[in-house]
Structure 1
Amino acid sequence: MASAKNKAAGKKAAAQKAPVARQAPQPLQTKRLDVADIRHAVGAGWRDFTRRPLLSGFFGLFYCLFGLAFMAGLLWFDRVWLILPLAVGFPLVAPFAAAGLYDISRRLERGEDFTWRDVFTVIWAQRNRELGWMAFVTLFVLWFWLYQARLLLAIFLQSLNFSSFDRFLDVVATTTNGWLFLGVGTLVGAFWASVLFTVTVISMPLLLDRQIDFVSAMVLSIKTVFKNPVVMIGWGLIIAALVMASMIPAFAGLIIVLPVLGHATWHLYRRA
């Protein structure tokens, strides 16, 4: 009898010590999107902006001032030929600049009461997370685009020295080589913008929202774009058109446009 009890106790102890099989984490899935999802995302983005206009507008203002400072630096150092390529490439870094806006939308979605400090604390914490690697990818693509723009200028215009930005525009607009530079440069810029949009449109908000490595996040973003090509191409064109248009009045339009697009991107991610 005692022996039977000892055996039963031994089996119980062995069962307790035996490792418990862990369930493999479920892979993240993507959903089908349609035009209605874009309308919903833009509407939700506008509502988020109107609920926290000062905090959201701050990120737009920062982006605006950064653009003005960059342009002033190019003029100061006589790098006027970089102004046009930079204007084309500027929207490439918009998703990363919107990281704070994603956090605002996330908190509003959860019904949280939060302060400016809460949002900036989350942004500061990203330096030790995977979102920092996405920042590196974004800035590398922007740098590579500017390098290619310089190469195209040397090929088509044979010069990087222009007395003023007006003179540069005159050469681009009134010469055959200028038109070739503009056409080829637009195609190259559109290519890099498409690549960066594809790998960041979902990965940026995803990395802020969940603990996942940046490569997996980029893969999921690519899958989402290829699963919903029409919707995502449309969304990318909307972002590019609105950002470019908002840059015309001395970047001032970005104060409103960038926050709304940032909030909308978060809501589109949530529906994807």
Structure 2
Amino acid sequence: MATLQTFTHGRDVTHPAIREIGLADLKTSLRHGLDDFLAMPSHVFFLGLIYPLAGVFLAGLTFGNNVLPMLFPLAAGFALIGPFAAVGLYELSRRRAAGLATDGRRAFASLGRHSAFALGILGLILAVIFVAWLIAAQGLYWALYGTAQPDTVLGFVADILTTPRGWALIVLGNLVGFAFSVLVLAVSLVSVPMVVDRRVDALTAVETSLAAFRRNPRTLVAWGFVVAGLLVMGSLPLFIGLAVVMPILGHATWHLYRRLVAA
């Protein structure tokens, strides 16, 4: 196996070789993700169901506390921690490829103390990015609308869609959200499944993920758009579709990682 030996801040770290991939690899990863979902529907449905239920809870909390402007940032930003939420799916895909048992009890079977600590660090990183996104979204709203809260849902939607400041909020909000999404993609696409797959520390996993993104920026940004599009489709019926979309994406991400990083 080709490797790259580096020494960073006193760490003697061997990074796996990164492959260059194309759009065909994205299609193949999605197909394998769907195959895993169909082969293990009872397990992945249970894991994936957590996501839409949490999304519905966030939506209800938002309406109940009259912070309607934060509904979209909460729903969109919640997807930023998706790579961490899919840890069990990565393990199930790994076990199925290796011909091992894939019952629900095995979803976290290989996560020892070392892996749990590394995953905790990665989860903290994603949580910090999530909070930063919410702060940025709230700051953008205050800059355009001040601190006043909308009176009604329909009035707020009408203002967003028919006024210059509403259009500015849509455009700028999506640009800021895109920047945060690219950051999460670069940091977590390889790092989280890599910690599940190998005994590596969080920093090494993040370095490898960033290296994979640097080598395949266009392809991985395209993957980000695929993920965003599927999440939107899954979110439209009150987040219920995420119970299917999230498991498929979780499994597909595992297969994409295996195509990016040498065994």
- How does the TM-score come out when normalised to structure 1? 0.86
2:193 aligned partner, one-letter code: P
How far the C-alpha of 1:121 sits from its partner, in A, is 4.7
Larger strand fraction of residues: 2
Of the candidates 225, 242, 259, which is equivalent to residue 237 of structure 1? 225
- The corresponding residue for 2:194 is 206
- The corresponding residue for 1:158 is 146
1:196 aligned partner, one-letter code: V
- The corresponding residue for 1:135 is 123
How far the C-alpha of 1:175 sits from its partner, in A, is 1.4
Q: How does 1:170-249 map to 2 (within 5 A)?
A: 170-249=158-237
- The corresponding residue for 1:95 is 83
Deviates more, 1:120-129 or 1:213-222: 120-129
CA distance in 1, matches of 2:240, 2:167: 29
* Unaligned residue ranges in structure 2 (runs of 5+): 1-11
How far the C-alpha of 1:114 sits from its partner, in A, is 3.5
Larger helix fraction of residues: 1
CA distance in 1, matches of 2:208, 2:79: 22
- The corresponding residue for 2:240 is 252
Q: Deviations over 1:170-194 (max 9, x none)?
A: 2211211111111111111110111
How far the C-alpha of 1:95 sits from its partner, in A, is 1.1
1:99 aligned partner, one-letter code: V
> Contact 1:96 / 1:135 at 8 angstroms: preserved in 2?
yes
Q: Deviations over 1:82-131 (max 9, x none)?
A: 10212332321211111111011001011012421221455696884201
Q: Percent identity at matched positions?
A: 31
CA distance in 2, matches of 1:115, 1:258: 19
- The corresponding residue for 1:86 is 74
CA distance in 1, matches of 2:74, 2:142: 16
> Contact 1:99 / 1:123 at 8 angstroms: preserved in 2?
no
User: Which has the greater radius of gyration?
Assistant: 1
Q: 1:244 to 1:125 in 2, by over 3 A?
A: farther
What SS does the aligned partner of 1:259 have? helix
How far the C-alpha of 1:164 sits from its partner, in A, is 3.0
Of the candidates 106, 115, 137, which is equivalent to residue 103 of structure 2? 115
CA distance in 2, matches of 1:220, 1:124: 21
> Contact 1:85 / 1:146 at 8 angstroms: preserved in 2?
yes
Structure 1 runs of 4+ off > 3 angstroms? 120-128
How far the C-alpha of 1:77 sits from its partner, in A, is 1.5
- How does the TM-score come out when normalised to structure 2? 0.89
CA distance in 1, matches of 2:148, 2:36: 44
- The corresponding residue for 2:135 is 147
Of the candidates 70, 73, 76, which is equivalent to residue 64 of structure 2? 76
> Contact 1:68 / 1:250 at 8 angstroms: preserved in 2?
yes
- The corresponding residue for 1:54 is 42
How far the C-alpha of 1:26 sits from its partner, in A, is 4.0
Q: Deviations over 1:45-89 (max 9, x none)?
A: 111101100111112211010100111111111111110212332
CA distance in 1, matches of 2:115, 2:258: 23
CA distance in 2, matches of 1:135, 1:68: 22
Of the candidates 16, 19, 26, which is equivalent to residue 28 of structure 1? 16
CA distance in 2, matches of 1:38, 1:44: 10
The alignment's C-alpha RMSD in Å is 1.8
- The corresponding residue for 1:39 is 27
How many equivalent residue pairs? 249
